[in-house]
Structure 1
Amino acid sequence: MPREQERNATDVYIDKLLNDILFKQEKQRIMVAIDQTLDKRDQEAFMKLSHKLNELERNFNS
């Protein structure tokens, strides 16, 4: 494999890895916030956060 192709493959791998890490961190942050809204019985905040979580997962999986 030529060096430039190898470098591009490495860049793609690193980009996917970083995106996965960012996705997992944001998902965890939202899940913690959802747990807190459930503890407080805040339905409005729960609905907003659930929608945000669904959007995050939809965008990551597309």
Structure 2
Amino acid sequence: MENNNYFAEMMKSPMPREKEKTVMSEFIDNFLKDILYKKEKALLMDKIDHSLDNDDRSTFMTLSGELKQLEKGYHTS
């Protein structure tokens, strides 16, 4: 019986559920973006380390530019 009352109350006010979905969706989007950023950054850092180990200045400069762009894009979004 208690579940029926809860369902009836939720059906009376659909807006809070929609807001909850929006907040949850935004949280999930931000969480996934953060994971993707960290993964891409880690891969770039590994490549940068490898280029330094091999004294490959041109690759280092290219990858450093990509890292700056990645960080700039992450911090502006």
Same fold (TM over 0.5): yes
Q: TM-score, normalised by structure 2?
A: 0.79
Query: What's the offset of the Cα at 1:32?
Result: 0.1
Let me know the Cα RMSD of the aligned residues.
Answer: 0.9
- Structure 1 residue ranges (4+ consecutive) displaced by more than 3 angstroms after TM superposition: none
Q: Which amino acid aligns with 1:41?
A: D
| Unaligned runs of at least 5 residues, structure 2 | 1-14
Identity %: 44
Gaps in structure 1 of 5+ consecutive residues? none
Residue 16 of structure 2 corresponds to 2
How many residue pairs get matched?
62
Aligned AA (1:27): K
The TM-score, its normalising length taken from structure 1, stands at: 0.98
Larger radius of gyration: 2
